[in-house]
C-alpha cells in the first residue's frame, strides 16, 4: 500500500495560518495562527527584507520530521515554479518576483508548492467542494479585491506571470477617475469589490435620483441616516431583509461583474462560475440571486450559472494541500 503523503500547509493573507493536511478527505488538524511580518507589523523594516522574514517564519513553524511536503497559498499572483510576482498587501509594491518556493525548499528540505490564494480555492472546490462534478469552472472571489481563476484540463490556468484567468483588473471604464488598489483606473475590481460597494452606496445616498429612496430605506434607518455610519454588515442586514433600495443598489454593484462573466463565457464556456469571498458570503443569498438574475441576461442557460463555493475560511489551506497532492501524483 502506498503511503499517504503528509503535507504541512500554510495560507498567507492578513495573517499566516498553518495546519496539517489530510488528503484522503481534505480535512485539517492542528490549525494555528501565526503573526505575519508585513509593512504594517514591522515598522521601519525595509520592504525588500519582508519576503525573507516570511521564509524564516514559515520554516521555523514546519516540524520537518513529521511531513513529506510543504504547500503555501499566498495573496498575490504566483508564476510557475512558485515565484510570487507581486504581493502588495503583504510586502508593498516595491517587491517583485520573489522565488518563495525555492527559498522555502532550501530552508526546509521539503518539496514545496506555492500557489495564489484564488488558485487554492479552485483546487479545494474541485477536489473536495462544490465543483467536483465540473470539468471546467471559473472561481470568482469578491472581498477587499476581486480575484478569479479558470480550472480546465485538470489544472488551474495561471500563465507565465500568474495572471491568467484574472478579471479584476480588466479595464471596464476607460478614462474613469475611479482609482483601483493596484494603482490603475477604471478596473472591474474598483466597481465591484467591497470598498467599491461602500463608495457606491454613499454616492447613491446623495444622488439626485436616488437620495429619496435612500432616505426612506431600511439601510438609512440602520445607519441612522448618517451615511458615514454605513458598514458592510448593515448593507448585508438590509439586503437580507429585502430592502428595495439595497436590492437596487446590489443590481448596480453586480452589473459590471455580470457583463464581464458574460464576456468570459463567450470566450471560454465553462460549466459553472463559483463565487466566494468574505463580502459575498456576508450578504449571502441576495447577492447570489441578484448576480444570477443579471447573468441570465448575458448567458442563456437552463440553470443558474453562478453558485456559492465553500464558506468555512479554510480554502487556502485545503486548496494548497490539494495542489501539492496533485503535484506529488
> What is the pLDDT confidence band of residue 165, given thresholds at 50, 70 and 90?
confident
Q: Does the pLDDT value for residue 45 go beyond 90?
A: no
CA 160 to chain centre: 20
Name the pTM for this structure: 0.92
How far apart (Å, rounded) are the C-alpha atoms in residues 37 and 56?
A: 10
Label residue 40 by pLDDT band (50, 70, 90): low
User: Does 144 have pLDDT greater than 50?
Assistant: yes
CB 312 within 8 A of CB 114: no
pLDDT tens for 283-325 read 999 999 999 999 999 998 889 999 999 999 999 999 999 999 8
pLDDT value at 1 more than 60: no
Q: What is the dotted CATH code of the domain comprising 130-308?
A: 3.30.420.40
Using only C-alpha atoms, the chain has a radius of gyration, in whole angstroms, of 21
Grid cell 495561471 in the structure block, residue: 158
Distance CA 227, CA 164 (A): 38
Residue 87 has what pLDDT?
A: 86
Check if 7-116+313-328 and 130-308 are the same fold: yes
Residues 34, 16: Cα–Cα separation, whole Å: 5
In 3D space, the residue among 131, 122, 120, 158 whose CA is nearest the CA of residue 320 turns out to be: 120
The predicted model gives 111-130 an average pLDDT of: 95
326 CB burial (10 A radius; 0-12, 13-18, 19+): middle
- Burial (0-12, 13-18, 19+ Cβ within 10 Å), 195: middle
Where do the domains of the chain lie?
A: 7-116+313-328, 130-308
CATH number of 7-116+313-328: 3.30.420.40
Q: Percent of the chain scored above 90 by pLDDT? A: 67
Q: Strand 96-99 to strand 83-86: parallel, antiparallel, or no bridges (unpaired)? A: antiparallel
pLDDT at 282 over 90: yes
> Which has the higher per-residue pLDDT, 31 or 139?
139
Amino acid at each position: 500500500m502506498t503511503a499517504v503523503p503528509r503535507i504541512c500547509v500554510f495560507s498567507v493573507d492578513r495573517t499566516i495560518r498553518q495546519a496539517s493536511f489530510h488528503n484522503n478527505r481534505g480535512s485539517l488538524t492542528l490549525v494555528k495562527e501565526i503573526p505575519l511580518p508585513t509593512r504594517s507589523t514591522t515598522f521601519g523594516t525595509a520592504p525588500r527584507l519582508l519576503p525573507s522574514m516570511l521564509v524564516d517564519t514559515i520554516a521555523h513553524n514546519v516540524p520537518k520530521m513529521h511531513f513529506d511536503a510543504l504547500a503555501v497559498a499566498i495573496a498575490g499572483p504566483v508564476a510557475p515554479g512558485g515565484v510570487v510576482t507581486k504581493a502588495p498587501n503583504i510586502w508593498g509594491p516595491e517587491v517583485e518576483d520573489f522565488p518563495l518556493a525555492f527559498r522555502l525548499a532550501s530552508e526546509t528540505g521539503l518539496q514545496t508548492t506555492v500557489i495564489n490564494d484564488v488558485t487554492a480555492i479552485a483546487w479545494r472546490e474541485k477536489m473536495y467542494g462544490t465543483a467536483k462534478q465540473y470539468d471546467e469552472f471559473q472561481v470568482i472571489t469578491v472581498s477587499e479585491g476581486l480575484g478569479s481563476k479558470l480550472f480546465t484540463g485538470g489544472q488551474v490556468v495561471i500563465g507565465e506571470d500568474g495572471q491568467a484567468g484574472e478579471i479584476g483588473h480588466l479595464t471596464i471604464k476607460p478614462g474613469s477617475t475611479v482609482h483601483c488598489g493596484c494603482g490603475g483606473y477604471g478596473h472591474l475590481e474598483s466597481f465591484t469589490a467591497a470598498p467599491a460597494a461602500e463608495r457606491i452606496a454613499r454616492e447613491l445616498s446623495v444622488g439626485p435620483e436616488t437620495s429619496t429612496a435612500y432616505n426612506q430605506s431600511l439601510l438609512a434607518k440602520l445607519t441612522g441616516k448618517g451615511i458615514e455610519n454605513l458598514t458592510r454588515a448593515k448593507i448585508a442586514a438590509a439586503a437580507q431583509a429585502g430592502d428595495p433600495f439595497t436590492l437596487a443598489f446590489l443590481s448596480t454593484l453586480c452589473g459590471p461583474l455580470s457583463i464581464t462573466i458574460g464576456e468570459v463565457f463567450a470566450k471560454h464556456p465553462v460549466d459553472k462560475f463559483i463565487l466566494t469571498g468574505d463580502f459575498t458570503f456576508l450578504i449571502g443569498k441576495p447577492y447570489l440571486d441578484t448576480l444570477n438574475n443579471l447573468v441570465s441576461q448575458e448567458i442563456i442557460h437552463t440553470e443558474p450559472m453562478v453558485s456559492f463555493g465553500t464558506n468555512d475560511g479554510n480554502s487556502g489551506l485545503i486548496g494548497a494541500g490539494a495542489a501539492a497532492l496533485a503535484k506529488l501524483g
